[in-house]
Structure 1
């Protein structure tokens, strides 16, 4: 099929080049969150005066991500995606160094500042999936989004292995070396980002009349898609944040906890080789619902026992469920806006998702300490059931019209 627009990256060759550059950038940028999530709580336990504050660095990372979605979108709109992505990577270099310096100075505050700054980079990395979807016709969007997520496979290996290889690299300062390495990974991503030649968001806005954001947000499909994205990503992040500490609390060491996160992140991105094809075959609503059901199964496995296989198996199922649920929900959202509306609609989607994730992550450490691992997994089941009912309702109403 031919793309007849005059956007700068209209050729198939340029589109494929951009796609693989984004996959590479995702591989490096996606390695940062596993480092922060697997170590943030453990460093927090070392530095925080109150154990209930141990997950605060991870929560602030999520908050930084949420608060950065709209400013990042504005920068992409006025400066271009390549420039905004490059700025995000530079800030990530600073963030990793500030986090490492915080550990060196035994300063919980400095460490939290570093993880918060890393959120801006994460907001840009999350936008890579939309950069890919905007480069292809609507029918190819699930496949493009899924392909970008394949970069997370490399991230799933790089991030946890960086933790294991570098956690003791700085003598007498456990984990500081891992955050220096986090800065190094962002530095490696810079050449890839600078080679991108993406369509201008300014061009897209100028080619059509955009509806008010409130009109876009009122659509039934937009509401259900965002809610599904919030729940699939929010529950995953909530459990992923608590899991390393829960494992240590139940007698497992930090290497076992880190490997659990590695298996989880591999499961998050591994299905991306075929998720796009499954969405094209079975539909966006069906695959989103399947993802939520698998997340429910992960909770049931966690409730079944405290053996290492229960922890790891639950994290693997959680990752697979997130992949189907989040990619499906993202594909649903892309049906709800036109080319002239995409910048603000994408920013609103990510702000709602990651704002809710940030709010939920602030309570993960407290709930883990007060309620326990089993209770927070039990909490997931009614939430998942409610969203499955919403998806069923959307299917019955036949609200499938694309805004394109």
Structure 2
């Protein structure tokens, strides 16, 4: 590749990163709206108390099930076409969820949140798309930069819940899901500005002569990256799914619960301004290890009391821990494949991570109902230790595939 071509590729990569950052700010607000309200709407519509978090669980299940189809669509038709398809699904999902509330139909509402998960499966891959044409340290910074868009999402999502939840008298929260659809619609013109990868990169992607997926899956380096992502995201979702219901159950208001989720999501994405630099300076494995440690600290805070300060501080620590752990894990995955292996490795990683996330979300509601908020947080500690120990061990030595 000539110097001129290399410069053009770098320019495209930086432009795409900023486009994806804006798209992340809109698409990233999809999940916070469902997470803030899914359990609360479930309390009103669900015929069984054990199913009150089912709408949030279906968001995560849809995300998991959507990763492989989304990877295929993007591989077959390109990133931009895939992301436009995802935004269309997001638009439809918000309208269906609002219809479910208006008709007092738990099944229709759950269908809407499941489709919101399919939309999220496209949004989650923005971080990989940002790294498509970047290399080395720039790849880590690009991933971190796109996730900065989550900061705007952290404000937009919960604030829309507060501003629009009573927009339609007699159908509380329907307005919030209509606003969710509107955000997906706004993402469409933004995503139209996304440039396809250069011809060199497209050629690399289309030449599928890489290693078999099973061979990649069995490498210690990739297994560690997946385990770190699974624990970081799985535990974050496990706790976050239960937290709004736990806050309301301990006497705090719906607005306080929504603000708690907002602080949590701000903490999830705020560190992205410097997470990339920390990984370049100290190594992605060490940053991920600190993230897991912070997730453990969040559980300790949650176990220390039920005041709103305990809930909010625990959610903030959980968010920062997720940021370090998940971005670190994403960068670790990005080191494990060749260009021709990109789609299948990314898709497999997201399927495993978000499949686990879906299971964690399903179990959170039942465990909260049967055993309480304390048990939710006691589960966090051994899960963190299970991955933190090997991660620290391997971060202290050169890692080879």
For the aligned pair, the TM-score class normalised by the smaller chain equals over 0.9
SS of residue matched to 2:148 = helix
**CA contact 1:131–1:198 (8 Å) conserved in 2:** no
- CA-to-aligned-CA distance 1:162-198 (integer Å, 9 cap, x gap): 0000000011110000000000000000001111112
CA distance in 2, matches of 1:397, 1:238: 31
Q: Which residue of 2 aligns with 1:61?
A: 59
Q: Which residue of 2 aligns with 1:43?
A: 41
CA distance in 2, matches of 1:28, 1:99: 18
SS of residue matched to 1:111 = helix
Residues 1:368 and 2:368 aligned together:
yes
Cα RMSD of the aligned pairs, angstroms, is 1.6
**CA contact 1:77–1:202 (8 Å) conserved in 2:** no
Residues 1:184 and 2:209 aligned together:
no
Q: Which residue of 2 aligns with 1:32?
A: 30
**CA contact 1:3–1:11 (8 Å) conserved in 2:** no
Q: Which residue of 1 aligns with 2:235?
A: 235
Q: Which residue of 1 aligns with 2:315?
A: 315
Distance change in 2, residues 1:104/1:134 (3 Å): same
**CA contact 1:244–1:261 (8 Å) conserved in 2:** yes
**CA contact 1:132–1:144 (8 Å) conserved in 2:** yes
CA distance in 1, matches of 2:326, 2:197: 24
CA distance in 2, matches of 1:392, 1:25: 34
SS of residue matched to 1:375 = helix
CA distance in 2, matches of 1:259, 1:314: 13
Residues 1:385 and 2:385 aligned together:
yes
Q: How does 1:148-187 map to 2 (within 5 A)?
A: 148-187=146-185
Q: Which residue of 1 aligns with 2:333?
A: 333
Q: Which residue of 2 aligns with 1:254?
A: 254
Mark the runs of 5 or more structure 2 residues left unpaired by the alignment: none
CA distance in 1, matches of 2:9, 2:256: 46
SS of residue matched to 2:184 = helix
SS of residue matched to 1:363 = helix
Q: Which residue of 2 aligns with 1:342?
A: 342
Shift of 1:390: 1.7
**CA contact 1:10–1:135 (8 Å) conserved in 2:** no
Shift of 1:6: 6.6
CA distance in 2, matches of 1:6, 1:221: 32
CA distance in 1, matches of 2:95, 2:232: 31
Mark the runs of 5 or more structure 1 residues left unpaired by the alignment: none
Q: Which residue of 2 aligns with 1:132?
A: 130
CA distance in 2, matches of 1:395, 1:266: 28
CA distance in 1, matches of 2:329, 2:53: 27
Shift of 1:16: 1.9
Residues 1:290 and 2:290 aligned together:
yes
Distance change in 2, residues 1:283/1:181 (3 Å): same
CA distance in 2, matches of 1:148, 1:3: 27
TM-score for the superposition, normalised by structure 2 = 0.97
Distance change in 2, residues 1:6/1:70 (3 Å): farther
**CA contact 2:62–2:114 (8 Å) conserved in 1:** yes
Q: Which deviates further from its counterpart, 46-55 or 385-394?
A: 385-394
Shift of 1:375: 1.1
Q: Which residue of 1 aligns with 2:143?
A: 145
**CA contact 2:296–2:381 (8 Å) conserved in 1:** yes
- CA-to-aligned-CA distance 1:128-163 (integer Å, 9 cap, x gap): 000001120123221111100100000000000000
**CA contact 1:229–1:329 (8 Å) conserved in 2:** yes
SS of residue matched to 2:125 = helix
**CA contact 1:220–1:394 (8 Å) conserved in 2:** no
CA distance in 1, matches of 2:202, 2:216: 19
CA distance in 1, matches of 2:55, 2:233: 18
**CA contact 2:27–2:187 (8 Å) conserved in 1:** yes
SS of residue matched to 2:286 = helix
Q: How many residues align?
A: 399
Q: Which residue of 1 aligns with 2:71?
A: 73
CA distance in 1, matches of 2:361, 2:350: 16
CA distance in 1, matches of 2:5, 2:351: 30
